[in-house]
Chain A
Amino acid sequence: MIAFGSTIVDPEAYRRFAAAGIRRAVEPDSVVHSFAAVGNTCRGFNLLLDSVAGHDDLEALVIVDPRTEIAGPGFCAAVREALRDPDVAVAGAAGARDVSTIAWWEGEVSSAPIAHRYYEHGGGEMAGYAWAGPVAPLGEVDSVDGLLMVLSPWAVRTIRFDESLVMGHGYDLDYCLQVREAGRKVVTADLRVTHHRALELLAEPDVWVEGHIKLADKWDGHWPGRSGEPVDWKARARRAEAEREAARTMAYSSTLRVDAEVLALERALAEMTESLSWRVTAPLRGLNRLRRRAS
């Protein structure tokens, strides 16, 4: 039996996106748990684990972010395929290798076809994580994105989300690190979803920074695959401080570039709509609008 679960802060988002996708994906014997979010993200997820751990016939728990919509049929088959290797404990739609911080997308990104649906600027859809340049094939990764996490029965019964991560940021990476520390695998698989989310990646950068530090502090010295490596903290600090300033400067550059490119398009549109011919034909467009309204 494949179970589905969500913890919900925004019921409307859950109804429109996650619930719609779950309805599309469930099998007759599937169990669906939806709980109001209590405390932090990890506490809510542990409630989901507790709720399904007792099912003897559990094949997987699919944790669905309320803004994630499972896209197509055949989802349960894809889940079973992803967990076919008994060493696999977590599967996701997107993830990365060579991850060293909660900014997992700075690693080598691997992603199933994910659509990112946004609602700003008139709305639209783009390929999810195209900005991160996903090049790695689907398969074993260091971490998956929490937008959709498929947990094996072993993971459900053995590994807990860390409720001491008060801010919630990095809960997905932390879970994957625990799984890997226990000797199991994390994979990306062909789990197709649409993620309905804002364009902005970090809504609260200051809070995210604190979450980043907390997770780095927690795993310092025993990060799977890197434990025991000597650390020259002074050199690391110098480098990171330089990289931080470089990243900030490149962010300014991005802002300027966006402004310049949009300005050029705005100029082109303005030239068209301020032209004599456009102004002369304004009454025609007015009539057309009236006609459309009347019909």
Chain B
Amino acid sequence: MIAFACSITKPDQFRRCAEPGIRRAAEADSVRYELPAAGTIARSYNALLDRAAERDDLEALVLLHQDAEIVDADLCAKVRAALSDPDVAVVGCAGALDVRSIAWWEGSVTLASFINRYEDHGGGDLHSFSWTWEDAPPWAHTGEVETLDGFVLALAPWAVRSIRFDESLSRFHGYDLDYCLQVREAGRKVVTADFRAIHHREIEMLPDPEEWIEAHINVAEKWDGRMPGIGTAPGSWRERALRAEAERDAAAAEAHTQVLELEARARELERGLAETRESLSWRLSAPLRWVGRSRTPAGRRTRAPRFAR
């Protein structure tokens, strides 16, 4: 039996995002664990592990965020296939190699089969690189990785019963890397599999940078010396500090550049919109558009967006 579990802080979001995906993927005998969050995500997930661990017939536990929507109706078959290797303990749809910190995406990402679906800024989909195999780059492949993105994870019964999420690290961040590191330290494997999900979330990737920074430090401190590459870097502490501060400021300058680019590109497009609206031909053809609008359902009418920059 493959179980599905979700820790819920926003019931509406769960109903809109996670629940349809669970219904799509669940089998007739699947058990669903949907519990209100209890403190940190690690603590909430451990409570879900406790529930699932009691089931003797457990084949896998699929843990997903309330804003994650499983796309594949045959997810269970794919999870079973991945877990057919008894050494495999965790499966996901996005993961990376050469991971040095909780910013796992700074490693060599081998699979990212998800869409980031946002509603801010007029809404839209950001397709990750292996959403469709036809468009995937040469480095996209399934298989063993060092860590997975925690928004959808499938855990083997061994993992459910043996490895706990570390409740001391952070309220939300880094729990997925830490779990994968624990699994690998215990000699088991972490793999990606060919299933897909939609992550319904805002474009902003770090709404709480201070909390994320603390998690980054905590994970680095915990794993330095225990797992190669994590928490370590060349040079003395002084050299590392000076380099990281420089690279931090360069990255921040890059973000500032993006803001300026946005301002300039938006102004250019707004000029184009204004010129079009003020042109003689646009004004002359107003009656045609009025007729067109009267034949268009109200919901499909669009207006040029205005952004606060």
Selecting from A42-50, A154-162, A243-251, the interface stretch reads A243-251
Given A103-B249, A131-B259, A258-B258, decide whether A246 and B264 contact each other with a Cβ distance below 8 A. no
Q: Please, what's the 1-or-0 string for A117-138, where 1 marks a CB less than 8 Å from any CB in chain B? A: 0101110101000011000000
A264 to B309, CA, bound (A): 14
Tell me whether A265 and B258 are in contact (CB under 8 A).
no
Tell me whether A101 and B209 are in contact (CB under 8 A).
no
A38 at the interface (CB under 8 A from B): no
- A278: which of B240, B280, B281 is its contact (CB, 8 Å)? B281
Q: Please, what's the 1-or-0 string for B288-309, where 1 marks a CB less than 8 Å from any CB in chain A? A: 1100100000000011110101
Tell me whether B284 and A284 are in contact (CB under 8 A).
yes
A98 at the interface (CB under 8 A from B): no
Give the most central of B237, B242, B259: most A CB within 10 Å. Answer: B242
Total A-B residue contacts, Cβ distance less than 8 Å: 258
Tell me whether A242 and B220 are in contact (CB under 8 A).
yes
User: Restricting to B82-119, which residues have a CB under 8 Å from any CB of A?
Assistant: 101-103, 105-106, 116, 118
A220 to B264, CA, bound (A): 38
**B residues in contact with A227, CB < 8 Å:** none
A178 to B203, CA, bound (A): 43
A172 to B264, CA, bound (A): 28
Q: Please, what's the 1-or-0 string for A229-263, where 1 marks a CB less than 8 Å from any CB in chain B? A: 00001101111111111111111111111101111
A276 to B285, CA, bound (A): 9
B38 at the interface (CB under 8 A from A): no
A239 to B284, CA, bound (A): 61
A131 to B257, CA, bound (A): 9
Tell me whether A238 and B284 are in contact (CB under 8 A).
no
Tell me whether B249 and A212 are in contact (CB under 8 A).
yes
A205 at the interface (CB under 8 A from B): yes
**A residues in contact with B261, CB < 8 Å:** 121, 199, 258
B161 at the interface (CB under 8 A from A): no
Tell me whether B126 and A262 are in contact (CB under 8 A).
no
Tell me whether A205 and B285 are in contact (CB under 8 A).
no
B216 at the interface (CB under 8 A from A): yes
Nearest A residue to B219 by beta-carbon distance?
A242
A56 at the interface (CB under 8 A from B): no
Given A242-B213, A254-B259, decide whether A261 and B237 contact each other with a Cβ distance below 8 A. no
Given A121-B264, A201-B257, A241-B240, decide whether A209 and B250 contact each other with a Cβ distance below 8 A. yes
A208 at the interface (CB under 8 A from B): yes
**B residues in contact with A261, CB < 8 Å:** 121-122, 262, 266, 305, 307, 309
Tell me whether B256 and A201 are in contact (CB under 8 A).
yes
**A residues in contact with B214, CB < 8 Å:** 242
A218 to B125, CA, bound (A): 47
A284 to B120, CA, bound (A): 38
Tell me whether B205 and A249 are in contact (CB under 8 A).
yes
A272 to B272, CA, bound (A): 10
Tell me whether B284 and A126 are in contact (CB under 8 A).
no
Tell me whether B281 and A233 are in contact (CB under 8 A).
no
Tell me whether B206 and A246 are in contact (CB under 8 A).
yes
Tell me whether B245 and A216 are in contact (CB under 8 A).
yes
Write the nearest CB–CB distance from A281 to chain B, whole angstroms.
4
User: Restricting to B248-273, which residues have a CB under 8 Å from any CB of A?
Assistant: 248-273
Tell me whether B101 and A240 are in contact (CB under 8 A).
no
**B residues in contact with A238, CB < 8 Å:** 217, 220-221
Tell me whether A245 and B264 are in contact (CB under 8 A).
no
B187 at the interface (CB under 8 A from A): no
A130 to B105, CA, bound (A): 31
Tell me whether A247 and B284 are in contact (CB under 8 A).
no
A217 at the interface (CB under 8 A from B): yes
Nearest A residue to B216 by beta-carbon distance?
A242
**A residues in contact with B292, CB < 8 Å:** 275-277
**B residues in contact with A217, CB < 8 Å:** 242
Tell me whether B264 and A277 are in contact (CB under 8 A).
no
Tell me whether B249 and A269 are in contact (CB under 8 A).
no
Q: Please, what's the 1-or-0 string for A133-153, where 1 marks a CB less than 8 Å from any CB in chain B? A: 000000000000000000000
- A248: which of B103, B220, B237, B281 is its contact (CB, 8 Å)? B103
- B204: which of A131, A253, A268 is its contact (CB, 8 Å)? A253
Write the nearest CB–CB distance from B123 to chain A, whole angstroms.
8
Tell me whether B252 and A106 are in contact (CB under 8 A).
yes
- A258: which of B122, B262, B279 is its contact (CB, 8 Å)? B262
Nearest A residue to B248 by beta-carbon distance?
A244
B241 at the interface (CB under 8 A from A): yes
Tell me whether B266 and A262 are in contact (CB under 8 A).
yes
Give the most central of A131, A210, A213, A237: most B CB within 10 Å. Answer: A237
Additional A-B contact list (19), CB under 8 Å, known A261-B305, A264-B307, A272-B277: A103-B249, A121-B264, A213-B242, A242-B220, A245-B216, A246-B206, A250-B251, A258-B261, A258-B262, A260-B126, A262-B265, A263-B124, A268-B302, A268-B303, A268-B305, A269-B269, A278-B276, A284-B280, A285-B279
